[in-house]
Structure 1
Amino acid sequence: SSYMVYGEVFSGKNNISENDLGYLDPTDADSAYAQSMRSAETLAVCYAEKFGMNVKIARPCLTLGGVRMSDERKWAKLIVSAAKNQGIMLTDNGGEKFSFCYVTDTVSALIDILLNGKSGEAYNISNDNANVTMREFAQLVKSANPEKNLSVVFVHRKDEEEPEFSPSSPTPYVLCNDKIKSLGFSPKTTLKDGIKRSIRATELRAELRRIK
């Protein structure tokens, strides 16, 4: 599944646990992805109950790794900019906060869920030490490769100011991972190292495409 399954959560907490469920507008086309996650999870547990199948559900956060140069996701575009030795550009104030997890740690978590998880239950996958805003992520992209002398720039000058937290804002997509840690999961890759590896993997991917 995905962290998108939660929709807009207003829990008053600073993270989202597996029993939280937020709002999704079924008449909004942008809800299609999240609604499909919910449908898939429901179908999975129905099969588990009806046919006694051993079903476990994983809800990964944003998973770092090499990306395509054409990737339009916000964090991925920052990785691509670094791979191209370009300025790291933010199109908004970057105040949204997310959980990140490097791909090898995500794979390790999936194995823990498969081997040790309870059938019919969902597990968040995240790294406690990799919960940052997008503007903090941009600064880490910059510092991960100091030899590139990258700069972080905002498209709109007004976005340069640090955003203020509003109590009325939805709970950030920071996933509580207490449940999966109880299975023995312990991520090994720091966010900065994960970003550095992701930039290098993106560079290598582009080089291989040019060779072909």
Structure 2
Amino acid sequence: MNDRTRDKDYFSGRVLITGGAGFIGSHLCERLLERGNEVLCVDNFFTGRRNNIGHLLQHPRFELMRHDVTFPLYVEVDQIYNLACPASPVHYQFDPVQTTKTSVVGAINMLGLAKRLKVPVLQASTSEVYGDPSQHPQTEAYWGNVNPIGPRSCYDEGKRCAETLFFDYRRQHQLDIKVIRIFNTYGPRMHPSDGRVVSNFIVQALKGEDITLYGNGEQTRSFCYVDDLVAGMIAMMDTSSEVTGPINLGNPSEFTMRELAQMVKELTGSKSRLVHLPLPQDDPKQRRPDTSQASDTLGWRPTVPLNEGLGRTIAYFDDLLKVA
């Protein structure tokens, strides 16, 4: 299977998604079921939540397995998406040693499984491999500016090492690998207390609390709606074995944190004040992907504008807070 071009009309096999009960993973599970795949969702529920995939549990082609990817996994599948790893600073700094183990040992275990089964494996890497970039926007050829011993290093360097492992398995074992670098993604099913800027701002605005800006609020990010990201991930997996990446997946539209906060205030009708706190150590000042490769290689472009995606995300959090 890994020696031929895969496309959405052809491939209908069994797909393993590690971290499948997480924010992005749950949307990927849903999309693959919609197109006819069998889905094996694996999660240890450190940050993933059963509510994210609760509506899928009765689906005849969906299976849930509680498992930690730092331990070997013996299953039979046709494709592997490796998403397992806490992705927000609040969560990955809670147990930084385990975060590094999840990225590195988890990658080794999923690569070993892919090697045994001779199936393609996709690594969900991150824009954090670029660190606090001196190149803007960031292209895939940029090697990054990462602090190897800082409080964010468990995540940044863990993901960088995972990429190394993926390409070494390619060189040494001719494994069919795919590496994507995910830029800030948002949407329904984000964890309300994960510390990410979109969820932070929305929850604070809906509760009428102060909206916290770090530093002067002029640092920038680019926000990709989760449906667009999932479409890009599947498009990457559907390429021939010659396409390895890494490929940036994100929205190239760039906003300051102050602009984002003002947009959230307007969309929620909130009277929250904007307040400033010190900038965390090693927090990147700028982040915007060059998505030329994704466009040229995958025919992929994000389609959901920020105000539309924020509206959907605000509706989700509004319902969630009412239940709470």
Report the TM-score, using the length of structure 1 for normalisation. Answer: 0.81
Q: 1:94 to 1:33 in 2, by over 3 A?
A: same
Matched residue, 2:289: 175
In structure 2, what residue type is equivalent to 1:55? I
Task: Name the CA distance, whole Å, in 1 between partners of 2:219 and 2:187.
Answer: 20
Q: Which residue, out of 285, 307, 311, partners 1:196?
A: 311
Residue 246 (structure 2) pairs with residue 122 (structure 1)? yes
Task: Name the CA distance, whole Å, in 1 between partners of 2:212 and 2:147.
Answer: 31
Matched residue, 1:4: 128
- Please report how far the alpha carbon of residue 188 of structure 1 lies from its aligned counterpart in structure 2 after TM superposition: 1.7
After superposition, give the CA deviation of every residue in 1:56-76 in whole Å (9 maximum; x if it has no partner).
Answer: 111111101133332222332
Q: 1:122 to 1:149 in 2, by over 3 A?
A: same
Greater fraction helix: 1
Matched residue, 2:160: 38
After superposition, give the CA deviation of every residue in 1:95-152 in whole Å (9 maximum; x if it has no partner).
Answer: 1111110000000111111113743320101123x3111111111112223xx24344
More divergent stretch after superposition (108-117 vs 36-45): 108-117
- Please report how far the alpha carbon of residue 199 of structure 1 lies from its aligned counterpart in structure 2 after TM superposition: 1.3
Task: Name the CA distance, whole Å, in 1 between partners of 2:319 and 2:171.
Answer: 45
Can you give the 5+ residue segments of structure 2 that lack an aligned partner in the other structure?
Answer: 1-124, 278-283
Matched residue, 2:274: 153
Task: Name the CA distance, whole Å, in 1 between partners of 2:285 and 2:239.
Answer: 29
In structure 2, what residue type is equivalent to 1:20? Y
Mapped contact 1:82–1:199 kept (Cα < 8 A): no
Q: Secondary structure of 1:120's partner?
A: coil
Task: Name the CA distance, whole Å, in 1 between partners of 2:193 and 2:133.
Answer: 30
- Please report how far the alpha carbon of residue 93 of structure 1 lies from its aligned counterpart in structure 2 after TM superposition: 1.5
Residue 172 (structure 2) pairs with residue 58 (structure 1)? no
Matched residue, 1:73: 196
Q: 1:113 to 1:171 in 2, by over 3 A?
A: farther
Correspondences of 1:121-140 after superposition (within 5 Å): 121-128=245-252, 130-140=253-263
Mapped contact 2:216–2:276 kept (Cα < 8 A): no
Task: Name the CA distance, whole Å, in 1 between partners of 2:286 and 2:215.
Answer: 16
Aligned-pair identity (%): 30
Task: Name the CA distance, whole Å, in 1 between partners of 2:231 and 2:209.
Answer: 33
Matched residue, 1:164: none
Mapped contact 1:69–1:206 kept (Cα < 8 A): no
Q: 1:81 to 1:48 in 2, by over 3 A?
A: same
Residue 135 (structure 2) pairs with residue 20 (structure 1)? no
More divergent stretch after superposition (58-67 vs 78-87): 78-87
- Cα root mean square deviation, aligned: 2.1
Q: Secondary structure of 1:188's partner?
A: coil
Alignment: residue pair count? 191
Task: Name the CA distance, whole Å, in 1 between partners of 2:215 and 2:257.
Answer: 9
- Please report how far the alpha carbon of residue 15 of structure 1 lies from its aligned counterpart in structure 2 after TM superposition: 0.5
Correspondences of 1:201-212 after superposition (within 5 Å): 201-208=316-323, 210=324
- Please report how far the alpha carbon of residue 82 of structure 1 lies from its aligned counterpart in structure 2 after TM superposition: 2.7
In structure 2, what residue type is equivalent to 1:49? R
In structure 2, what residue type is equivalent to 1:133? T
Q: Secondary structure of 1:56's partner?
A: strand
Task: Name the CA distance, whole Å, in 1 between partners of 2:270 and 2:154.
Answer: 40
Task: Name the CA distance, whole Å, in 2 between partners of 1:155 and 1:119.
Answer: 44
After superposition, give the CA deviation of every residue in 1:137-173 in whole Å (9 maximum; x if it has no partner).
Answer: 111112223xx243442247xxxxxxxxxxxxx7721
